[in-house]
Amino acid sequence: MTEFTAKIILTDIEGTTTSISFVKDKLFPYAKENTKDYLKETWLSNETNEIVRELLDLPEFEAYTKEVSKVANESLDVSTVDAFVKYLIDKDLKLGPLKRLQGLVWEKGYESGDLKGHVYPDVPEAFKRWTEAGLRLAIYSSGSIKAQQLLFGQTELGNLLPYISGHFDTTSGHKQEQQSYVNIAKALGEDPCNILFLTDVVKEAEAARKAGYQTAILARPGNAPLTDDDKTQYTVVSDFESLAISLKQTT
């Protein structure tokens, strides 16, 4: 059992609370398959118009039009936008308007029951245990805040949102940059040394540690393998049950 004392636990999602395969093999394909229908249904809405404008303003759209031998000023219809979205998803690009559109498509999926958020079996009990001990729990993911709330609000193991007091996405900064964790600590109103960051990505742990955070890396099945050097430099655990986290008392 690995012991920490902290006031806030900040946790990543993919590979930490949720399997990478759920995101890669369920959420992304669902967005690809259902974006066109969503655009058809909402094409005249202000929200969709705004997202489409933001998508077409991306530098990636010019690259896309060249790649598929289209001209940027051709008639832009649902099919064109849908094809561009598929192009962005295939390239695994984490772009604001794309994430916003994906979140709306996923929302429809959760509402219809086509989607249920995946979390590892140890997650609900850990969230409950930590919050009952007086710790605050927050999420930091490259997925949008809306997508985070959808996932944790409608998991296969129940609604976990009541345990979560804060959500952060890339509007706070890139996950592998030290400044992002400085920004989040300020937003949480807490000294970085009192925050424990849980992730499966070494470069994220490195950035958080440089910002003054405590860190632990999750080595769950399906996650990227860790080197011997990684295991020497960082605390590595297999699951949340391996963590004993107590509330740091104010002196």
Numbered residues of the known binding site: 12, 14, 141-142, 175, 200
Numbered residues of the known binding site for substrate: 141-142, 175
Q: DSSP letter string over 110-147? A: HHHTS--B---TTHHHHHHHHHHTT-EEEEE-SS-HHH
DSSP 4: E
Numbered residues of the known binding site for Mg(2+): 12, 14, 200
| Contact partners, residue 106, CB within 8 Å, separation at least 6 | 27, 30, 31, 115, 147, 150
Nearest to 106 by CA among 146, 161, 152, 57: 146
Q: DSSP letter string over 185-240? A: HHHHTS-GGGEEEEES-HHHHHHHHHTT-EEEEE--TTSPPPPHHHHHHS-EESSG
* CA–CA distance, 213 with 4 (Å, rounded to integer): 12
